[in-house]
Chain A
Amino acid sequence: MTESTAVQKKRASFRIRIEPRLSEPPKWYPVAVSFGAIIVALILGGVLISFAGGDPIRSYQHIAKASFGDTGVLSDTIVKATPIILAALACSVAFRMKLWNIGAEGQFIMGAFGASAIVLAPVLPAGTSRWIFIPVMMVAGMAAGAIWGFIPGYLKAKFNVNEIISTLMLNYVAVAWVNFWIFGVWTEGGFQMSPKFPNEAWLPRLLEFAKTFPALRGLTTHLGLVIGIVAAIILWFIIFRSRWGYEIRLIGDNPHAAKYAGINITRNVIWVMMLSGALAGLGGMSEVSGVVHRLQTAPIAAGYGFTGIIVAWLAKLNPLVIIVASILFGALILAGREIQPSGVPKMIQGIILVCLIASDFLLRYRIVLDRGEE
């Protein structure tokens, strides 16, 4: 080998081959690849920024400062990440069964509606204890989301209706439905929004404790974060430790094998779509009760459900990784606006996404360098 390479030095002929991996890479490898992908993306983004006339290093410093620089912006990042966590969890559970629920957006909106109805209908009068108000709103939000998941789930299970189409269409229905209520029924003096919720219907925020801990002043991080983390942990247990989760994983990996193992796929399609809808609905409840504090279309239907799809995939559908990926996305959304309302930051987001998704290739294939022998 050595002598032949020495002879061939001046031609330096080598070939790059791509081969599928036949064995599992070590555990650290996927993590390293993901980090590598982000670094590559940032370099590419840096090139882009310098083309646009900016200084890449300073821009990145600014982004880092604007999203993680102090407790205030960190809190804002987390506020942005919270709805994404729940939406991504919703997507991940459906995707795990290869149900392409792209209706987390609609289920999220319906969850916000369901939770708001408790306040606005009103189901519970203003002045009811917060400890009753919030759990009831959570249940209502999850129920509304679950119903929005049940519809395509049932259609899929019974009539084999393509869930991609039905969930996508139901997103528009959800927006129109909420618009009807805020334009007509619960309008705040003719504006397209409901009246502000009473304080009892707000999720507790860190700034409420500023009297005892002055450091928390102005921090808007709310209980939704805890809800999201708890939901992620519970979902992890469901997927990896429960009987139902086993069935979901089996159906997702091979429906024929699941049928062969005696699993009722029809019923599971409906249940999983409902679980997915409920998680997205919980996200809607958290957003309306933790941030917006009124029912209003624009801030609720801000695309969290769609971002959830991407985040779920980036996290490889792992509920615990979703938390981290969501925070990264929260930071990108927040800091992006700091640099430019739209444009370059969006492009950087896109580059990161493409790089992360493309890096998946390295998990499945190996790149082999052949020193040419001819």
Chain B
Amino acid sequence: MTNQTSSTHGPSSEAPLIVEMRGIVKKFPGVLANDHVNFELKRGEIHGLLGENGAGKSTLMNVLAGLYRQEAGTILVNGEPKVFSSPRDAINAGIGMVHQHFMLVPSQTVTENILLGLDDPRFFLRLPDYDTKIAELGERFGLKVDPRAKVWQLSVGEQQRVEILKMLYRGVNVLIMDEPTAVLAPQEIEGLFVTLRAMIAQGKSVIFISHKLQEVSVIADRVSVLRRGVATASGIASKGVSRQELARLMVGRDVIFSLDKKPSQPGEVVLDVRDIYAENDKGLPALRGISLNVRAGEIVGVAGVAGNGQSELSQVISGMRECKQGHVTLAGDTVSNRTTLFGIQHGMAYVPEDRTHVGSAPNLSITDNVIMKKYRTAPILKRGLLDMKAATSLANELKQAYDIIVPNVSTPVRLLSGGNLQRVILAREISGLPAFMVAVQPTRGLDVGAIEGVHRLLLAQREAGAAVLLVSEELEELLSLSDRVYVIYEGRIMGEVKVGGGEPDESLIDTIGQMMTGTPLEQIQKEGVAAHD
């Protein structure tokens, strides 16, 4: 209660405050998501809102956008107290939010999507008029998108632009962006930043929610940090604060950015992928001739923007997807187009992309989830029956060893946080002492502390002599963990680069970035001969 409520909110030095949130409290069952949070947004600034997953940043912004209603606290817009009972109220007050998951109708055009839900074209819809209107609006803010295109034809980056246009068209002055870069390629992120800067130049304000320190320190003018529902920093200038300091504000302790990584000593080829072709769920080609290999004792990264065949690749390797052509061998045994069980029995571990829908059974207990690959053999299976005592003690051991924070192991895993669930999955996969492990986006959605834990576990695997294939969209993660990185684009490998220890250099990141958007390595090297040495 005494939490800074008495602190002075003196009018700011230069720009006036457009939004002011005072003492916001929002509770969820068992969680205090926002504990008397104060937040101030100045006109014409990009305000970074940092915090780990579950820190309460989306909650706070959902309150501002009218999706949630706070239990206590007030919202002032341009100095006037406002009560939002729906997103429409917030939009009328000039506040709009672009969510992480887009809310667009794929079969309709950009214009139709933007007009959806508005009263303006009451009955007769003369689309061409609106098309030009929207094209002009896009022009103004550097949001290039064809108003007549159907949404399903657009890339993820373009769809995001449509979402932003939707808000601009509704005349919002404050745009809240929830983790906007999660789905974008490096070049697209640049484009987004250009747009955001164009918006503030025209007097709009932006709240940029992220858990990526680097982006926030690049784009934001000021930063607020939330930790466990409490604001640990409110509106500090991003210029005057180091990344380490921000990280400390987020997690409350120092995070080690450079991992202890011993030089690699690669052994035999464990996984060999030879020229494989596969289709995605819609029956369209997803993999078009992929070849790669992973040796014992090394981590090999697969970089790429989401949806370029990474999921399908990991599924073919693990035996969950049909391989149309080519084959995958694991220590000499063919594993492609065999049962998943074959891979499991031959020492393959798989950390799937989708923790909740593939990697775990949400309503079953932690115990039931950790025996998923062990229930067929002793000590869990005894005389055809499951030995629940043995299973429970295994679960308790793993809970201890992997720092899974729950009162007891009979808790259904659906109640676990993302980081804890990922630890359950990793515990299960690693405790099988795999010869090969494929991990897809193992740190997606996890907070800084949890990410570090996952990274240590992966490196421990490498040191134990396992071959690890790491599929990730986080370039930093790939570069700090991998010994080699393949870059995938539209189901093809664009090239392979070696990653030395230490700080990754800019040209390497640039090369990978270019490959991620479809330029093969040979071409880059040919063009780059003159420029680089």
| Chain A bound to chain B | yes
A residues within 8 Å of B by Cβ? 19-24, 237, 241-243, 245-246, 249-250, 253-254, 256-264, 366, 370, 373
- A21 & B29 in contact (Cβ 8 Å cutoff): yes
Q: What residue in chain B is nearest A238 (Cβ atoms)?
A: B385
Given contacts A246-B371, A256-B354, A257-B360, 17 further A-B contacts (CB under 8 A): A21-B29, A22-B31, A22-B415, A23-B30, A242-B384, A243-B376, A243-B386, A250-B368, A253-B361, A253-B364, A254-B358, A254-B360, A260-B358, A260-B359, A260-B372, A261-B340, A262-B343
Given A242-B386, A250-B372, are A24 and B361 neighbors across the interface (CB < 8 Å)? no
Which A residues are in CB contact (< 8 Å) with B72? Answer: 373
- For residue B145, CB closer than 8 A to chain A, the reply is no
Which A residues are in CB contact (< 8 Å) with B412? Answer: 24
In the complex, what distance in Å separates the CA atom of A165 from the CA atom of B351? 37
In the complex, what distance in Å separates the CA atom of A24 from the CA atom of B365? 12
- For residue B257, CB closer than 8 A to chain A, the reply is no
Given A254-B357, A256-B357, A257-B359, are A22 and B28 neighbors across the interface (CB < 8 Å)? yes
In the complex, what distance in Å separates the CA atom of A261 from the CA atom of B428? 11
- A260 & B29 in contact (Cβ 8 Å cutoff): no
In the complex, what distance in Å separates the CA atom of A24 from the CA atom of B362? 13
Which B residues are in CB contact (< 8 Å) with A242? Answer: 384-386
- A243 & B357 in contact (Cβ 8 Å cutoff): no
- For residue B388, CB closer than 8 A to chain A, the reply is yes
- For residue B363, CB closer than 8 A to chain A, the reply is yes
| Distance from B131 Cβ to chain A, minimum over Cβ atoms (Å) | 42
Which A residues are in CB contact (< 8 Å) with B384? Answer: 242-243
Which A residues are in CB contact (< 8 Å) with B375? Answer: 243, 246
Task: Return 8 A-B CB contacts under 8 Å, by A number.
Answer: A23-B29, A243-B386, A249-B368, A250-B364, A250-B372, A262-B340, A263-B341, A370-B71
Nearest 6 A/B pairs, CB to CB: A262-B341, A253-B361, A262-B340, A261-B372, A254-B361, A22-B29
B residues within 8 Å of A by Cβ? 28-31, 71-72, 318, 320, 339-345, 350, 352, 354, 357-364, 368, 371-373, 375-376, 381, 384-386, 388, 411-412, 415
In the complex, what distance in Å separates the CA atom of A351 from the CA atom of B501? 70
| Distance from A169 Cβ to chain B, minimum over Cβ atoms (Å) | 31
Which A residues are in CB contact (< 8 Å) with B411? Answer: 24
In the complex, what distance in Å separates the CA atom of A243 from the CA atom of B371? 11
| Distance from A312 Cβ to chain B, minimum over Cβ atoms (Å) | 17
Among B29, B31, B71, B361, max chain A CB count under 10 A is at B361
Which A residues are in CB contact (< 8 Å) with B71? Answer: 370
- A257 & B29 in contact (Cβ 8 Å cutoff): no
Among A19, A253, A254, A261, max chain B CB count under 10 A is at A261
Q: What residue in chain B is nearest A237 (Cβ atoms)?
A: B385
Among A24, A242, A257, A258, max chain B CB count under 10 A is at A257
In the complex, what distance in Å separates the CA atom of A249 from the CA atom of B412? 13
- B340 & A259 in contact (Cβ 8 Å cutoff): yes
In the complex, what distance in Å separates the CA atom of A249 from the CA atom of B388? 15
From A22, A23, A256, A263, B358 is in contact (CB under 8 Å) with A256
In the complex, what distance in Å separates the CA atom of A259 from the CA atom of B352? 12
Which A residues are in CB contact (< 8 Å) with B29? Answer: 19-23, 366
Which B residues are in CB contact (< 8 Å) with A264? Answer: 339, 341
Among A21, A246, A250, A373, max chain B CB count under 10 A is at A246
- A260 & B415 in contact (Cβ 8 Å cutoff): no
| Distance from A156 Cβ to chain B, minimum over Cβ atoms (Å) | 20
Which A residues are in CB contact (< 8 Å) with B31? Answer: 22
Q: What residue in chain A is nearest B363 (Cβ atoms)?
A: A253
- B352 & A260 in contact (Cβ 8 Å cutoff): yes
Which A residues are in CB contact (< 8 Å) with B388? Answer: 241
Q: What residue in chain A is nearest B371 (Cβ atoms)?
A: A246
| Distance from B32 Cβ to chain A, minimum over Cβ atoms (Å) | 12
From A254, A260, A261, A263, B362 is in contact (CB under 8 Å) with A254
Q: What residue in chain A is nearest B369 (Cβ atoms)?
A: A257
From A253, A260, A370, B320 is in contact (CB under 8 Å) with A260
Which A residues are in CB contact (< 8 Å) with B368? Answer: 246, 249-250
- B385 & A257 in contact (Cβ 8 Å cutoff): no
Among B72, B359, B363, B385, max chain A CB count under 10 A is at B385
Given A19-B29, A257-B361, are A24 and B381 neighbors across the interface (CB < 8 Å)? no
Which A residues are in CB contact (< 8 Å) with B372? Answer: 250, 257, 260-261
| Distance from B49 Cβ to chain A, minimum over Cβ atoms (Å) | 23
In the complex, what distance in Å separates the CA atom of A229 from the CA atom of B71? 51
Which A residues are in CB contact (< 8 Å) with B376? Answer: 243
| Distance from A184 Cβ to chain B, minimum over Cβ atoms (Å) | 45
Given A23-B415, A246-B368, A373-B72, are A262 and B339 neighbors across the interface (CB < 8 Å)? yes
Which A residues are in CB contact (< 8 Å) with B386? Answer: 241-243, 245-246
From B28, B342, B373, A261 is in contact (CB under 8 Å) with B373
Which A residues are in CB contact (< 8 Å) with B358? Answer: 254, 256-257, 260
Which A residues are in CB contact (< 8 Å) with B341? Answer: 262-264
Q: What residue in chain B is nearest A366 (Cβ atoms)?
A: B29
In the complex, what distance in Å separates the CA atom of A52 from the CA atom of B364? 47
Q: What residue in chain B is nearest A365 (Cβ atoms)?
A: B29
- B364 & A262 in contact (Cβ 8 Å cutoff): no
| Distance from A352 Cβ to chain B, minimum over Cβ atoms (Å) | 26
Which B residues are in CB contact (< 8 Å) with A21? Answer: 29
In the complex, what distance in Å separates the CA atom of A19 from the CA atom of B33? 14
| Distance from B314 Cβ to chain A, minimum over Cβ atoms (Å) | 11
In the complex, what distance in Å separates the CA atom of A261 from the CA atom of B368? 12
Which B residues are in CB contact (< 8 Å) with A262? Answer: 339-345, 373
In the complex, what distance in Å separates the CA atom of A22 from the CA atom of B32? 12
Which A residues are in CB contact (< 8 Å) with B371? Answer: 246
In the complex, what distance in Å separates the CA atom of A245 from the CA atom of B381? 12
In the complex, what distance in Å separates the CA atom of A246 from the CA atom of B376? 10
Q: What residue in chain B is nearest A254 (Cβ atoms)?
A: B361
Q: What residue in chain B is nearest A374 (Cβ atoms)?
A: B83
- B339 & A241 in contact (Cβ 8 Å cutoff): no
In the complex, what distance in Å separates the CA atom of A256 from the CA atom of B345? 19
